[in-house]
Amino acid sequence: YAHQSGDGNHDPAFDLNATITVHPRDLAVFADAASRPYGQSNPPLTVHYGAFAYDDNASSLGAQPYAYTAATASSPTGTYEVNATGGASPDYHFVYHGSILAVGTSDQSITGFAPDLNATYGDLPLDLNASATSGLTVDYSSSNPDVLEVNGTRLEIRGAGQATIYAHQSGDGNHDPAFDLN
């Protein structure tokens, strides 16, 4: 309001007024990129901000924005959208910018590979019981199938001699190959 009440030489002026609208400031909210291996939980997803007004910061907001993704621990390797939402403040209009979560392949290893190291020609087949930490199937091979022939998860004794048995897991789209054991 503009007001002038006059004095001994002047009559009062007509009051004037003007309505001023103060709009919320645009505040950019950026979801931060993240990564993790397949099979693990998502890391904490975070956001960062563009320019606040004056000496405001995230604690000046009524509700702070947060980042989220649809990816879960069982989501296969690839990239997934990370978005932000949830900010509230009468002084700011939130402009959200997404990012990605990169899910990479996971390490694996072979465990439980302990075949009987002594056999006699004519014995029953030997069982192979190795497993991969990924749950994928372990494959076996023999350096000398004339002595020990691999038949699935069994070693058929074919003759006297010596053979090296290899345990192998080549991985898949979600798991790196395991180190071979022998």
- What is the rounded CA–CA span in Å between residue 124 and residue 122? 7
pLDDT for the residue 134: 95
Sequence-distant (6+) residues with CB within 8 A of 24 are 89, 90, 91, 92, 93
pLDDT at residue 117, rounded to an integer = 86
What is the per-residue pLDDT for 51? 94
What number of CA atoms fall less than 13 Å from residue 163's CA on the CB side?
A: 24
pLDDT, residue 116, reads: 83
Q: Report the pLDDT value the prediction gives residue 96, as an integer from 0 to 100.
A: 98
- Per-residue pLDDT at 14: 93
Residue 165, helix vs strand vs coil: strand
Convert the pLDDT of each residue in 94-152 to its tens digit: 999 999 999 999 999 999 999 888 899 999 999 999 999 999 999 999 999 999 999 99
pTM value > 0.85? no
Q: What percent of the chain has pLDDT over 90?
A: 98
Q: Once rounded to an integer, what is the mean pLDDT over residues 145-165? A: 96
Euclidean distance between CA atoms 164 and 76, whole angstroms = 35
Q: Does residue 79 have a pLDDT over 90? A: yes
9: exposed, middle or buried (Cβ count in 10 Å: 0-12, 13-18, 19+): exposed
- The closest alpha carbon to 99, from 65, 64, 69, belongs to 69
pLDDT at 9 over 90: yes
Please state, rounded to an integer, the average pLDDT across all residues of the chain: 96
